[in-house]
A and B are shown apart, each in its own frame.
Chain A
Amino acid sequence: MHLTKEEERILEGEEGWTKKKAMEILVAIGDINHASELIPIKSAHVSGVSYKTIGEAFEFVNSLEGTVKVESTLNPIGMDIEKWDEMGISIDFAIKQEKVLAAYKKLGISAECTCVPYLIGNAPDKGEHLAWAESSAVLYANSVLGARTNMEGAPSALAAALIGKTPSYGLHQPENREPEIRVCVKCNLADADYSALGFLIGNLVGDKIPLIELFSSSSVSSPSKDELKHLSAAIGATGSVGMYHIKGITPEAGVEAGAEETESKLSEEKIEIEKNDIEEFYIENNEPDVIAVGCPHCSSCELTRIYELLKAEGKRRKVRRDFFIFTARAIEQSVQTQRIVEKIENFGVKVICDTCFVVSPAFENYDCVLTNSGKMLRYVPLLCGGANARLCNTKECVKEAF
């Protein structure tokens, strides 16, 4: 990889150990992936923040000095910064978690801990280069916002933040962003159907960029931003691809001058998704003992909808099952949402910020989780003390709570 004189100096350690380490990481990744150069990034999004996942390795972060060069946000941590005690988090965990957070804050990274940076102000424009970890946000940024980022790991996103650059390879280059496999959806979709679809697509395409052809008829509206968020999260959970195309949504889909040529790059292989492929996800196998939504973190639109559903289903009763909603603090505290959150909590539902069901140790004593998230469907069985997860749409989630 070609380095500028300034980059060489940093690699030699002339600007200190932290930047030297960061540059070594970027150069190694660039060399491994045959990048030609480093390119400036608009923002970074760093994972590896929950003490549950990073553990004592946060001492590496703690050993770093200086400040990040670009706007940088953090993934969810292992607890609500304010309500950790109420969540049943041990004081020992809380102290360690606060140390981890402090190590990142010291570097000038925003302490907003969320998996939806694009909903709280770290929203890139089309064509901007980023270094984001958090697969759901990577897929959303590339496919919906038209920004350009590879699927970074925790240390590589941090290294990019400290240098303000990332190696140019993979999804930073237009020729690597073209669709490779066609996925034809033969039925209407709504709500958690997009989680199911993403779960299937991730499993089926592996690392090939899919062109998703949604069922189109005049009566069907295109997917909402929240549905695209769930689609992105589920594809990221089961697949290893960082982008998809949907015509009319993905800025690059079919609008480039070489659109026909693009189509010809698609392999002969075509995946068809039928209605029963989606419906198989909703088999009622286990009785849920907890309901969890907000993976990725709920938008204010979703919070409003959940409140409307609670009002309609609850008829002033309180929920009889544990019901958790996860969101970003900035969303919870926005003027339009604050009052809704209060009203949601009046139903006995708990709205939790900064963390989520999967990265917090507070939710490891359940047997079956009901959720609208395809990402949870994948990770709950692996990371939540042996619990099962069951998918259903948001309305059913609320219904089952009473």
Chain B
Amino acid sequence: MKIKGRSISKGVATGEALISKQKISFLGAVDPATGIIVDKSLDVYGKEITNRILIFPGGKGSTVGSYIIYLLKKHGKSPCAMISHRADTIVAVGAIIAEIPVVDSLEIDPIEGELIQDGQEVLVNGTGGYIEF
């Protein structure tokens, strides 16, 4: 199945979905050295985002979060792509400087529509602005 969205950050990647229903503040919620989610209030607490397709509503909190996304990539611990409901500037800017593909505003919301299961293989085409699974 292919769902159209909007291109936020270019590039193409395939990986296993990691789904969070909550917004994530990258500064404080994700350890940039390990890629592990350390914010206990999140539904994905304790999981590792490395090489996953992070599917979540969007970012929140400090704009330093953009640099955390960049650090994750530098340490080889970043998600391979992200799909967000509505990309915010923190996630968009972080993904652009880290060169991680991001698509948002999908025609059908994969979280609400329960179309994608955790761990399912998903392709994100940030250049074309669509996902496939």
Residue ranges of A at the interface with B (Cβ–Cβ < 8 Å): 21, 24-25, 28-29, 31-33, 47-48, 53-57, 59-60, 133, 152-156, 159
Contact = CB atoms under 8 A, between A and B. Distances in A.
Given A32-B89, A59-B74, A152-B63, 10 more contacts: A21-B97, A24-B10, A24-B96, A25-B96, A29-B93, A31-B6, A133-B63, A155-B66, A155-B94, A156-B89
A57 B96 contact: no
B100 interface: no
A55 B96 contact: no
A57 B68 contact: yes
A25 B63 CA distance: 13
A307 B87 CA distance: 50
A179 B64 CA distance: 29
Contacts, number: 69
B-side interface mostly: helix
B71 to A, nearest CB: 5
A153 B6 CA distance: 22
A116 B92 CA distance: 28
A25 B93 contact: yes
Nearest to B92: A28
Closest 6 CB pairs of A and B: A153-B63, A57-B67, A28-B92, A155-B93, A24-B96, A57-B71
B96 A28 contact: yes
Nearest to B67: A57
B130 interface: no
A29 B63 contact: no
Contacts of B97: 21, 25, 60, 155
29 contacts: A21-B97, A24-B9, A24-B96, A25-B92, A25-B97, A28-B8, A28-B87, A28-B96, A29-B92, A32-B92, A47-B63, A54-B64, A54-B67, A55-B67, A55-B71, A56-B74, A57-B68, A57-B70, A57-B71, A57-B74, A59-B74, A133-B63, A153-B64, A153-B90, A153-B93, A154-B66, A155-B63, A155-B93, A156-B89
Interface centre among B9, B67, B94 (most CB of A within 10 A): B67
B88 interface: yes
A153 B59 CA distance: 13
Interface of B: 6, 8-10, 63-64, 66-68, 70-71, 74, 86-90, 92-94, 96-97
A163 to B, nearest CB: 14
A297 to B, nearest CB: 21
A60 B8 contact: no
A265 B132 CA distance: 45
B123 to A, nearest CB: 21
A304 B63 CA distance: 35
A28 B74 contact: no
Contacts of B63: 47, 133, 152-156
B115 to A, nearest CB: 24
B16 to A, nearest CB: 26
A90 B57 CA distance: 41
Given A31-B6, A32-B89, A60 B70 contact: yes
Residue of A25, A133, A152, A159 with highest tally of chain B CB at under 10 A: A25
B72 to A, nearest CB: 10
A48 B67 contact: yes
A32 B87 CA distance: 7
Contacts of A21: 96-97
Contacts of A133: 63
Contacts of B94: 155
A152 B93 CA distance: 11
Contacts of B64: 48, 53-54, 153-154
B35 to A, nearest CB: 15
Given A153-B89, A153-B90, A28 B9 contact: yes
Nearest to B64: A53
A173 B93 CA distance: 22
A54 B70 CA distance: 11
A152 B60 CA distance: 14
Interface hub of B6, B87, B92 (most chain A Cβ within 10 A): B92
A29 B88 CA distance: 8
Contacts of A31: 6, 8
Contacts of B70: 57, 60
A57 B71 CA distance: 6
Contacts of A56: 71, 74
A154 B89 contact: no
A166 B71 CA distance: 25
Contacts of A53: 64
A29 B93 CA distance: 8
A55 B70 CA distance: 11
Contacts of B9: 24, 28
A60 B67 contact: yes
Contacts of B66: 153-155
Contacts of A156: 63, 89, 93
